[in-house]
Structure 1
């Protein structure tokens, strides 16, 4: 049996008092455990933090639900769909708060058509938004989109611009 996570009392008290930062920190601590009860507590505390407006918790939930939904897709399609819906919800909330990585992940939903109608134009718009907000992977993706004409006209100048920008921001 795996060892449970040890939680500092001051952190627990701040989280219980409604401090979103502490709630998310608690979620991250619980996630380090391999104990099933701790993993459930990680999700519960991340949800509390997200509901209290913690944008990183929103992204963390959206990313986690996306990964889990993809794992379930073949064996449990209904369960997978509900996790994709939860992921889409939290990624959308984080996008509204201008979280670049969440916006890039959300673009994938429009590209693939996961629980929403496939919309390549919206997907490209979200990738561009994430790139403009500083997400280096989005910059690389946008360079590729323009280089290969994926949902847009091929534009070598824009491809070069985003490629160069990704290189300068990566360093």
Structure 2
């Protein structure tokens, strides 16, 4: 569920500037489109007081955003509640987000109120609200855990193409006995919309034959799609299929490229494979220093086999070269890690 922020309400404000029969509302919209939020607030205040739901929503969003002065949470929420009561769908959704997350000391988190607000918008066919109501029910946040009702709301959103509802339906069914086929169906729908985590999951299911017949060509295709979007897990997955020759001729040189991308994003399995390939001269010229460096990094990340393969590399190297390789690992760690940390791991689980 997306986290509420004043920035979100600014987006809602921008998207809500529609024309209206009420002159004051239109005047406010015209002023806001020119960046004159003080005038917009004055005009919308008049229209909102007269009962115009669009003006109530825009006024509430404006007060919450602070674009017309200091943010006014209490009055912003008050106007959103009025708009919601008048049937404004986006106002109900915005209220749900506000109550779900709270707003510092000014507004406490209230999942029961959040659910009621989401439910109002969900009943009008609003997919983000249907998804949010479903997730609250699924997680038992603010009300009794109700998987049946949760799935009903998630399905309504998913049927309208809401990608996160599709993905979470996949996750739900994946945890149910004998429902891998249903899980795959929803994961595939989300994957086809370009969601990287769904694409990775679909690739895994094709690779393992879960919920669908095993198809390594499809697995590779979906790994590559997710990998191109920055999925580190899929970068490793694509590399592994190429490295192992699963479904096609083995291609260690191409695998190396994907392992390098994943390793640079802190995938310890990819770091281990790089170390192994440099140690064995597989798909790349043998290089004990590079092998030790990557195995050292993988071992530092907790990869069990890396400890032992690093020791095997060390046996083939003079002490000075081992120290240099460890230093290179430390330098790589420092250059690619935001948190200061001493890269030292002399034995399994050493730190």
Q: Name the TM-score class by shorter chain.
A: 0.7 to 0.9
SS of the residue corresponding to residue 229 of structure 2 reads: helix
- 1:11 is aligned to 80
**Which position in structure 1 is the counterpart of 2:284?**
none
| Contact 2:115/2:136, CA 8 A, preserved across alignment | no
Q: Which residue does 1:75 correspond to in 2?
A: none
- Residue of structure 2 equivalent to 1:141: 201
Asked if residue 20 in structure 1 is aligned to residue 80 in structure 2, the reply is no
Q: 1:52 — aligned with what?
A: 124
Does the Cα contact within 8 Å between 2:205 and 2:212 map onto a contact in 1? Answer: yes
Within the candidate set 53, 63, 73, 2:135 is matched to 63
Moved over 3 A (4+): none
Higher helix share: 1
Cα distance in structure 2, aligned partners of 1:27 and 1:16: 13
Query: Structure 1 residue 125 and structure 2 residue 185: aligned?
Result: yes
139, 142, 158: which one pairs with 2:218?
Answer: 158
Partner of 1:32: 101
- The structural deviation recorded for 1:7 is 4.8
TM-score w.r.t. the length of structure 1 is 0.78
2:211 aligns to what SS in structure 1? coil
Shift of 1:137: 1.2
TM-score by structure 2 length? 0.40
Q: Structure 1: which 5+ residue stretches go unaligned?
A: 73-78
SS of corresponding position for 2:157: helix
RMSD: 2.4
Q: Aligned equivalents of 1:60 and 1:46: distance in 2?
A: 7
Q: Deviations over 1:118-147 (max 9, x none)?
A: 432222122111111222211010011112
Which of 153, 162, 173 is the equivalent residue of 1:90?
A: 153
User: Where does residue 101 of structure 1 map in the other structure?
Assistant: 164
Shift of 1:149: 1.9
Q: Could you tell me how far apart the structure 1 residues matched to 2:75 and 2:227 are?
A: 40
Shift of 1:86: 1.5
SS in 2 for 1:150: coil
